[in-house]
Each structure stands twice: as structure tokens, then as C-alpha cells.
Amino acid sequence: MKLRVKATFNWVRLFSALPEPIQIPAGAPVEEKGRQYWVRPSHFKGDEILHHDAVYYGCPVDPDNVVTA
């Protein structure tokens, strides 16, 4: 089962020194961990900082914004 983001949303990284919102597009790959949904870190492979943040802090996705594709 492939999980994807249903609708574009903004990821606000409150832990970051550069907390500007990052737009996560519809269709971004999602993984489920412990009943929570996260954008897969591999989605950010082209940006080292975003990839790091996704690996170590996670990019959470609202359960209502996840669809199986």
C-alpha cells in the first residue's frame, strides 16, 4: 500500500533557525510510524537541510491528509 499526501500543505519547522514554511506538494510519499504519518525523508533528497530535518525531526502529515495511491 502506497501512502501519499492528499492536498498540498505547509510544513512549519519550529525547531529551525530558518522557520519559513516549506510547501509539501500533493502526492509526496508518506510513511506510517506508530500510528502517525510522516513525509518520507527521501522526498527531500535534493536539499540536505530539509532531508536532515525530515530524518531527525520528521515532517508530520495530518491523518486526514493521507490517501492510498
Exposed / middle / buried, residue 59 (Cβ in 10 Å: 0-12, 13-18, 19+): buried
Lateral strand order in the sheet of 29-33: 60-61, 36-39, 29-33, 3-5, 66-68
Indicate whether 19 pLDDT > 90.
Answer: no
Question: Taking Cα atoms as reference points, which of 56, 60, 52 lies closest to residue 12?
Answer: 60
Q: Determine the pLDDT at residue 58.
A: 93
Q: Determine the pLDDT at residue 14.
A: 81
Question: Which amino acid, 30?
Answer: V
**Rounded Cα–Cα distance for residues 6 and 66 (Å):** 5
pLDDT tens digits along 30-61: 999 989 999 999 999 999 999 999 999 999 99
Mean pLDDT of 25-34: 96
Indicate whether 29 pLDDT > 80.
Answer: yes
